[in-house]
Amino acid sequence: MSAQPPQNLGKGIAFFVAAWAIVPGMDACAKLLGDMGYPVLMTVWGRFAFSVLLLLPLLATRRHRRAFSWPREPMTQFLRGLFLVAATFGFYMGLRTLPLADALAIYLVYPFLVTALSPLVLGEMPGLRRWAAICVGFTGSVLIIRPGFGTVPPGTLYVLGAAAAFAGYNLLTRRIAGRADPWQTLVFQAAVGTAITTLTLPIAWQTPDLLGLALFCGMGLTATAGHYLLIRAYDNAPAPVLAPFGYVEIISATALGFFIFGDFPDALTWAGVAVISASGVYIGFRERRPRAEG
């Protein structure tokens, strides 16, 4: 396996926190489009297609023109894009029946999947205490999902599938960190997503009105900015260190959900978020300790 790039943990964490402060804006746009009756497949297409449009001006600059060239590890890059398409589709399907903050709270299982799978994909081995923290975090997920507490909304299953796909996306992002130009990586994932979802347009197209067009643009803008910051984060820090800081997203998502949709998580959901967040932060701090301590 190739050597990992030089690390700057503070810089990586800053990029990661900024990314997850921005990305819920994309999800809010997607939920509004769903509430307006736009098909999920078209919304997913718009998320990628408008990102490509926003990235096209890079062609005018000599420095970034190579972002549109073929990447060095095309199969890994393609799988990243495929995972991201699956994660986006699953999450947007979940938003049809779940409030934004609740959907995101369920989605927060992905950092634990990242940590658990890091040994297999990245060779980044968590110790026993981190495995214990993963188990504690899972109990927080149970508090949010509440199996057996009544009928589990279909949206919950979609979001859980999306979390698994997004964990794969994060792991592959870290795997190519430092070996690929961030702009090239961003362009390629947007192109892969656009190519795949364009195939669905014959059954999913609905001509957007002005508000819909503005929401598609907003979705592309926040997606492009957020994922560029995410790629830069993985250029500077390992996946298990970054994963717990993704919980800042729940703050942004809750604020948007409350002010735009009037939704607010209930007490049991907040309890689950607290357990997940505490466990994730513990994992992050353990990852900064010497490896011998596990």
pLDDT in tens, 100-132: 878 887 887 787 787 777 777 766 666 666 667
**Any idea where the domains of the chain sit in the sequence?**
9-293
Element (H, E) at 244: none
Q: Which token pair is 174? A: 């870290």
Average pLDDT over residues 4-14: 75
pLDDT tens, 179-228? 778 888 888 999 999 999 999 999 999 999 999 999 999 998 998 888 88
| CA separation for the pair 102, 263 (Å, rounded) | 9
Q: What pLDDT, on a 0 to 100 scale, did the predictor assign at position 106?
A: 82
Mean of pLDDT values over 43-72: 84
12 pLDDT above the threshold of 70: yes
Position 168 scores a pLDDT of: 92
Please tell me the predicted confidence (pLDDT) of residue 291. Answer: 46
Q: Which of 14-18, 226-230, 289-293 has the lowest mean pLDDT?
A: 289-293
The helix, strand and coil proportions of the chain, stated in percent and rounded to the nearest 5, come to 80, 0, 20
In the predicted structure, residue 284 carries a pLDDT above the cut 90: no
Structure tokens at 98: 């779940």
Terminal-residue alpha carbon distance, the chain = 22
More confident residue, 190 or 142: 190
The CB density around residue 110, as the number of other CB atoms within 10 Å, is 23
Q: Where are the alpha helices (DSSP H) in 37-99?
A: 40-55, 74-95
Say what the pLDDT of residue 294 is: 45
Please tell me the predicted confidence (pLDDT) of residue 147.
57
> Is the Cβ–Cβ distance between 82 and 191 less than 8 Å?
no
Element (H, E) at 243: none
